[in-house]
Amino acid sequence: MRPKVIILRTAGTNCDYETEYAFKLAGARAERVHINRLIEGSVRLDDYDILAIPGGFSYGDDISAGVLLANELRYKLRDQVERFIEEGKLIIGICNGFQVLVKAGLLPRFKGMEGKQLATLHLNDSAKFECRWVYLRLESDRCVFTKGLKPIIYLPVAHAEGKFVAPKDVLDRLEENGQVVFRYVDEEGRIAGYPYNPNGSMRNIAGICDPTGRIFGLMPHPERYVWRYQHPRWTREELPEEGDGLAIFKNAVRYCM
């Protein structure tokens, strides 16, 4: 049976339709669900195989990007989320969803420090909203979502608070554990500054996973590049039919089947 995906949405979420489409294209059954339905109990997280928290500006990014939705997961749905994780299911957070996972303590989720916020996504160094395409270098084979991806992929970003920030010991531990999944790089795969690193993220980190590889967060938007026609140069370059982002969703579906 095809895996079932819950696309969690709330006020301000604006990438839920694209995320639903990407998962359906990858072979899953996907459903957009407002968080209030989980909180009231009319929908149960237990009934799904994959939880996706899409991009957007949940609750208008009041206070800080993703923090209000993170607090709802932490304080209103903690038991459901922890059970979901314990059962070996998958979670992906994209852009605002990545901010939510980090601020809810679901990433990096070091052993013995589960539920603690150890990092954040801060204001871009440019002090402006960055909407551009970036190159990402695959750094680890630990993450379920990125198995077998090309060494360098190309995806769009669209955020104002995407700078990954953490203390040195947290950054070192991420590196040692193989939890750094993507780094921002130039066309040749070399570490580079702005605009290749669009937000000034420490160590050019663009995405991380938990120690199991089943919880994954990234700032770029894989759901916005699933067909060649979404590439900014599709009329000028010979490109495969599938965009670089689709493989991320296919990996998740394949894992759950």
Indicate which residues carry an active-site annotation. Answer: 95, 221, 223
What is the 3 state secondary structure string of the chain? Answer: CCCEEEEEECCCECCHHHHHHHHHHCCCEEEEEEHHHHHHCCCCHHHCCEEEECCECHHHHCCCCCHHHHHHHHHHCHHHHHHHHHCCCEEEEECHHHHHHHHCCCCCCCCCCCCCCCCEEECCCCCCCEEEEEEEEECCCCCHHHCCCCCEEEEEEEECCCEEECCHHHHHHHHHHCCEEEEEECCCCCECCCCCCCCCCHHHEEEEECCCCCEEEECCCHHHCCEHHHCCCCCCCCCCCECCCHHHHHHHHHHHC
